Every structure is written in C-alpha cells, then in structure tokens.
Amino acid sequence: MTSPSGPAPRRSPVRSTAAPARAAASGAAAAVVVTLVLLWPALGRGLLLYRDFVSVPSPVLGPRALATDGAPPRAVPLDAVTALLAPVVPAGVQQQVLLLASLALAGAGVAALLRHRGVLASVTGAVVVVWSVYAGERLLLGQAPTLMGWAMTPWLVLATRRTAALPSWLFGVVLAAMPAALTPVGAVQAAVTVLVVAGGALGGTRQPRAHLVAATAAALLWSLPWLVPALRGATGAGDPSGARAFAVSAGSPLAVLDVLTGGGVWAGGAQLASRGTVAAVAASLGLTVVGLVGWLHPASAPSVARTRAGRGAVVLAILGIPAAAILAAGPFLGAVEAAQSVPGLALLRDAHRVLGVSVLMVALGVGSAVGAVGRRAAAGVDRSGREGRMRPWVGSGAGGVVSRSRRVGTAVLLVSLAVLGAPDLPARLHAAYRPVAFPAGWEAAVAAAGGQTALVLPWQPIRTQSWAGPQPFLDPFPLGHDGLAVSARDLVVVRDGEAVRVGRQDPAQAQRWAAGELRPGDLDAAGITVVVEWLGTPGTLPERHPGLVEVYADEVVRVWRRAR
C-alpha cells in the first residue's frame, strides 16, 4: 500500500506546511469522533470479556503469558506486556486503549496519507475506514489486538517512505511496528508492509540496500516473541479443518459481493444482519467503485498509480485480494487445506483477515476522489517527471464556492454510503463491549489454585457467565494463574449447518474430561494437582471427584486439590 499524496502545489513555506497538517489533524479528529460513536459503552470501570478479547484483574507472567504452556502463541507478547504494565496501568484501561486505538489509529493514518488532498479528503477517508464492515466484523470476533496490525499499516507506510539517515529511519519504522507486533499476525503484517514499501514494489522511492537489510533484521527481532515458541516446537503444522472453518462466507451471489466489499467473516456471531440486505451491500459496492476510480482516474490518481505496474497493484489490492479469498473458500479450498501441513501457514487460514488491505486502499481512493472533485489535472507530467499541478475547474469567487460545495456534497454522500453499508454496526458493538466487574471471590479462587498444574473445567474453551452478560468469552483463568493451566483449545465452528472442530492440541484424556469423568490415573499422567470448575457455563462438570478435596467454592467457581 502506498500513499496517494503527491507533491503539494508550490505555496509560501508557512502555508504549504500548515495546510497538510490541518488536513491530517482534521481527519484524525474525525476518526476519534467516529470511534467514540461506535465504542463509547466500552469506556468505564471494569474489564472487557468478549470472545477473544479477555483479561483478568491481576494478570501474571505465567506459562500462558510467556508462551511456555504449549499452546499456540496467539496473544504473544500482548499477554506478557499486559502483565508487566498492570501494576501501573490497570488491565481494563489497557484493554480500552487498545480497543479504541484499533480503529482511531487506522483512521488517523489514512488521514495522514491523504493530507495533501485537503481537509475534506482526509476526513472522508478517515470516516470510511473506521466505519467499515471489515473493522466491525473483526471487532465482533473480539480481535482488537490483531486489528492493530491493520491499523498501523498507514503509519508503517509513512515511516518507511521517509527519506532519512538509517538510524532515524529505522527508529521510525520500529516505533510504528511495535503496536502491530503485539500479536504474531500483526508482526507479520508489519514486516510485509515495511519490506514491500521499502523495496519500491508498489511505487515510490526504493530505500537504500542498508535500509532494507536493517528493516529485515528489525522485522525478525520484533517477531521473536512468537517465533521462538514456534521453533522450539510449541506449535506445529496447522489443522487442515481450519481452512474450511475460517474461510470467508461466500455461498451466494450477495455473499460474494459482501466479501468484495470487506465483509463475509467466517463466524456467524460476528456477521452483521444488515449485510444480508441488498441495500447495505450495494452501498458498500458503490463505495468500492468510487475508491477504485479515485486511484485510477487521471483527475485524482496518485503518482504511484500512473504506471501500468502501479495500476495493476491497485486493482490487485482492491479486487484481487477479495477474489483470492473467495476462491480459497471454493475451488481452491482443497489446496488451502493441504497447505496447513506447512508449519506457520495457519496464520493465513483466516482469509477474511487479509481483506484489510483492500479496505484501506478503498478508503484512500475515496479520499483521493473527494480531493479531486472540482479540479482537473493540468498537462500531466512535466519533463522533469514531477506530478502535474491540480487546477480548479472554476476560479475564485462564486465559482470557488460552487467547487467547494461540490466537494462537501460528495464527501457527505460517500460518508453516507459507508454508514448505509453497516447501519447496525454501532448497536452490535455497543452490546458486545461493556466493562464488567469480576466476582468478589475471583482472587481467592485463583489463590487457591496458586502455582499448581490446574485442570480447568468444563472442558471447552468458551465460557458464559450471568455476571458478565450474555456474550461468550474465552476462558480467562490461565491469564491470572501463575501455574500451568490445562484447558481445552479445540474450537468448534459451525459452517453450512455442520460443526467443524479445529485444533489438535487436546490431550488423550480430553474426551473423558468433556464427559465429566475424572480418573486419578488421568490426573497423575498429566501432572494435575488442582481442578478448577466454572459454574453456570455450558459444558459438563464431574459429579465425582475421586482423590480430591474441595478447597474453595462460591457461586461462580470451585477449586479442588489432590488429597495428601
């Protein structure tokens, strides 16, 4: 992805600096406002427990946070960073900052890339990318941390395209990469973005070889937190069933168009009801067409899209990536399943995740189109190769007012299309993200299990609790337990009416544990000395606890220890 901003027209030094800064600041402000509209109920005292996005009052540097428990390092190093910061910044505050930043930073980054196109262009691009189906569906999966990799992409482009001495350049790149590198997926996204942009593959100036070498080394370093567990065998080849479970939802013509416009997430619970209507998908499709035209039309095309290779890259990013995701869910599904046998490729099995590049490109194209309304390109490119200067169709005075009115009207229309593409997004996010208070006995229950190898039941990864509301969430106990937590990792995803089980990490005794059967021999074989049981959540709990003594119980959780 590259910046659509070409050289600004020649003006006085003060004005040429102030105008882009004002545009970027206006766009960033719009991004913050829209983010608050979508997520304001998430602010307040307490913690967020929603699907993948969970934390505990006192996170610890236990086996889960340090990726030494054998589980795939999906939240590495995020869990460790949360535990380290918790004494200074409460875990709930960290969650709220991360959640808001996953949207606001994306919008502000798009606005910064569009800053030379004017205030309206920056504001429109920022609003379009924040109020997007893609961002909403990722948040409805509870994946704000992984969305940070997407949100930092514009900032990585800006940092990578700078012309600066190696130390200053590398510092800027690493600074922009750090929020993305909180998760493995974000670390990979950051590395790909930096290397592609620095290499000049999508237009722009190619950085010197020393910069490329330094960027490659830096990308390796910020990926070490998840690479080390992978290399020492904590994770192996992916489960082939994951390819089907996490393929985009594209089973009808309307669903195909949904994917082409950033929707089609695999989880039914994360899908917006409005995306099943022709009106919403048509609005998003119109926005996509405008974005494509904004990149390719001579009156608005950035300099990087004025070559055959540049235009090809734009079409590939906006249309080719969604098309590949659709094919991976259909004719090429078998090939994707076979590829899961290669360690590390499981990162790519969630095809919906890669649509983020298309969404960013559409927002940049839409902003470019707004900036070009009422203007036309001059002769094109002069002999020195510089981009031609944009001149008004109409002059100053009454004509200038008409031109500005056209741009305002166009911006309002395009923002309206973004809202119409996902009109139910605020209501869904408001219901999903609300802070909750853990029960008073939570700390006592965790202390009762202190430092031991604990079996966590019922044997399934998802919990629901009346005190936390109706939303399901991943079991947070391992984040607060300073010993090893033996818990279910397999995930069941319903696709086309059929349950698809993903995961191969469960131990041999798992079937008995899932049925509520505890055998002393099974506990001994796994080195388990403590059993923790959630009450009032789906799943089967054991009726008998041979060789165990109850050491803590309340209305939420019970803790059993091996009898001495």
Instruction: Please check whether residue 40 is in contact with residue 422, taking contact to mean a CB–CB distance below 8 angstroms.
Output: no
Domain membership of residue 437 (yes or no) is: no
Residue finishing a domain among 431, 459, 485: 431
User: Whole-angstrom Cα distance, residue 21 to residue 9?
Assistant: 15
| Cis previous bond, 470, omega within 30 | no
User: Whole-angstrom Cα distance, residue 26 to residue 531?
Assistant: 54
Residue finishing a domain among 408, 431, 454: 431
Instruction: State whether 38 and 125 are in the same domain.
Output: yes
Residues 6+ apart with CB under 8 A from 182: 77, 78, 81, 145, 148
Provide the domain limits for residue 415. 13-431
Domain membership of residue 145 (yes or no) is: yes
User: Whole-angstrom Cα distance, residue 486 to residue 527?
Assistant: 10
Q: Which pLDDT score is estimated for 267?
A: 92
Domain membership of residue 471 (yes or no) is: yes
pTM attached to this predicted model? 0.91
Instruction: Please check whether residue 425 is in contact with residue 38, taking contact to mean a CB–CB distance below 8 angstroms.
Output: yes
Instruction: State whether 407 and 467 are in the same domain.
Output: no
Instruction: State whether 416 and 535 are in the same domain.
Output: no
Among candidate residues 71, 56, 49, 57, the one with its CA nearest the CA of residue 488: 71
Instruction: State whether 466 and 317 are in the same domain.
Output: no
Instruction: State whether 227 and 158 are in the same domain.
Output: yes
Instruction: State whether 54 and 75 are in the same domain.
Output: yes
Average pLDDT along the chain, 564 residues, taken 10 residues at a time: 52 63 97 98 97 96 90 89 97 98 98 96 98 98 96 97 96 98 95 93 81 97 90 63 89 96 95 97 98 92 80 93 94 85 72 95 96 59 39 42 80 97 98 96 94 95 94 95 92 81 77 93 93 96 95 96 86
Residue finishing a domain among 410, 431, 452: 431
Domains contained in the chain, number = 2
Instruction: State whether 322 and 378 are in the same domain.
Output: yes
Q: Which pLDDT score is estimated for 232?
A: 74
Instruction: State whether 387 and 408 are in the same domain.
Output: yes
Domain membership of residue 49 (yes or no) is: yes
Domain membership of residue 124 (yes or no) is: yes
Domain membership of residue 290 (yes or no) is: yes
Instruction: State whether 93 and 19 are in the same domain.
Output: yes
Between helix 278-296 and helix 398-421 the angle, nearest 10°, is: 130
Instruction: State whether 175 and 155 are in the same domain.
Output: yes
Instruction: State whether 296 and 160 are in the same domain.
Output: yes
Instruction: State whether 417 and 447 are in the same domain.
Output: no
How many other C-beta atoms are found inside a 10 Å radius of the C-beta of residue 162?
12
Domain membership of residue 7 (yes or no) is: no
Q: Which pLDDT score is estimated for 401?
A: 56
User: Whole-angstrom Cα distance, residue 488 to residue 534?
Assistant: 13
